[in-house]
Structures are given as structure tokens and as C-alpha cells.
Amino acid sequence: MKIFIIALCLFSISALAQENLRKAHAHNDYEHTKPFFEAYKLGFGSIEADVYAINGELLVSHNLADIKADRTLKSLYIDPIVAVLKAKKQGNFHQFLIDFKTDADSTLPLLIKFLAPHQDLFVKSGLRIVISGNRPPIKDYINFPSWITFDGRSTETYPAGLKNYVVLESESVVKFGLWSGQVPMPTAMKEKLKVYVDKVHASGRKIRLWGTPNTLMAYQALWDLGVDYIGTDHLSELADFLKLAAK
């Protein structure tokens, strides 16, 4: 009986750890040695890639000066994601955030062109495609496929009919105050963030903050505030933190 109880407890902890890892967001994921795969194998729920539309191709890079012709969104992300979903080995991965560095008019049609052949697979797997960065006008969201969603902002309002098009809202943490993550978050900043997080949740959207420090103290503060997606450039460190949070 004791062995059964111990096994049950271990299973529960493992399940909770996996659920916690769904909050993990790989910021600038393509800067790692193995884009997509490092975050995916660690159990991250959300992965982000920046893209530029250049000469009919979507190239992955944070800065225009660092673009390389062989680093395409298709080769680094779309093909691996499709392979994982077809093999039914999705794991925690359920959100692919694509930050447009070029304008939506040139970038979004290309993205839809590359993703459309796999749309049924994305829908069946529950994979959420989120467009961030240079998004089209809000009034035009309804004109795009329903399997495409858009990243919201605190300064924007959305008609009720667009609820399913904007399920995530992102904002810079700097908007609420300056904080290194090396010391506890200032009380005033924490209070502002708590009000904002509660407001976003009341609207039915998930929340992500960008520009957050890559420290354990920062991860803990965001966790305590109820932030849905905790971003990091230090993948293993965040994964270990979220696993410990389950114990």
C-alpha cells in the first residue's frame, strides 16, 4: 500500500510539473544551438520566433543584419513542428508565437501560404498560432483564417466578435517599472502588475510579459502574479524552476 501511495504521489508531481512547463515561453528561441528542439525537449509550452519577409521567404532573425538565407521559418520551425504533430508527440507545446519584424501586408500572406497546407493538423492538435509584432489593423482580423490568432496589447480594445482571434495579450514589463530581478520586485510595481494581470484574465485572455529578467527571483515573481507565460532566454534554468514549483 505504501508503495502504491508513493508511486501515486510521484505520478501526481510529474503531472503537475508538466502542467507547470506549459507556462514556459522560449523568447528568441532561434538564438539557441538547436532552435525549436531544445525548448520542445525541455517541455516548453510556448515558443517564439522573429521573422522578416524577404524575397518571398520568411527568414528568422531578431536583427536585419543577422539574417542568413538558410535560416528559414519553414526549415527551423514549420517542418519540425509538423513532424512532431504528425508523430503525435506534441508534449506540452501548444503555442507558436511569430513576431513580425516586417509589415503585416508582406509577411502575413507568406505565413499563411506556408502554414495553410497543415491547418487541419494544427487545429486537430490544438496548436495556437499567434501573430505578434507588426500585426494588421484590428478591424481586419476577421478576414484571416480562424486558425490564426493575434497578440493583444493593453492599449487596444477588441469587439466581442474578435474574442477568438485575440486569446493572448503581451506587454513590456518596463511599462510597470524598472526592475533587475536581482532583488524583490518593488511593491508599487507588483501592485500595478497584479491589477493588469487580473484585468487581462477577466477579459478571458492569457498574459505574457516581455523584457523580464532571466533570474530565479523574476520567475518566482511572475509565477506568484499568475502570469500565464513566463519568458526566458535561459531554457534549462526556467524548466528546472517550474519543475521545482510542482513539489
Give per-residue pLDDT as tens, 137-147: 999 999 999 99
Give pLDDT, residue 17.
77
Give per-residue pLDDT as tens, 213-238: 999 999 999 999 999 999 999 999 99
Q: Which residues of the chain have pLDDT under 50?
A: 3-13
Residue 232 pairs with which residues in a beta bridge?
A: 26
Give pLDDT, residue 14.
63
Tell me the C-alpha distance between 69 and 57, whole Å.
Answer: 9
Superfamily the domain 21-244 falls into: Phosphatidylinositol (PI) phosphodiesterase (3.20.20.190)
C-alpha dist (Å) from residue 11 to 30, 43, 59, 158: 33, 16, 41, 41
Give pLDDT, residue 247.
57
Count of other CB atoms within 10 angstroms of residue 77 = 22
- Residues 52/58, Cβ–Cβ less than 8 Å: yes
What residue type is assigned to position 102 of the chain? T
List all residues 6 or more positions away from 220 whose beta carbon is below 8 Å from its beta carbon.
241
Look up residue 108 and give its three cell numbers. Answer: 502575413
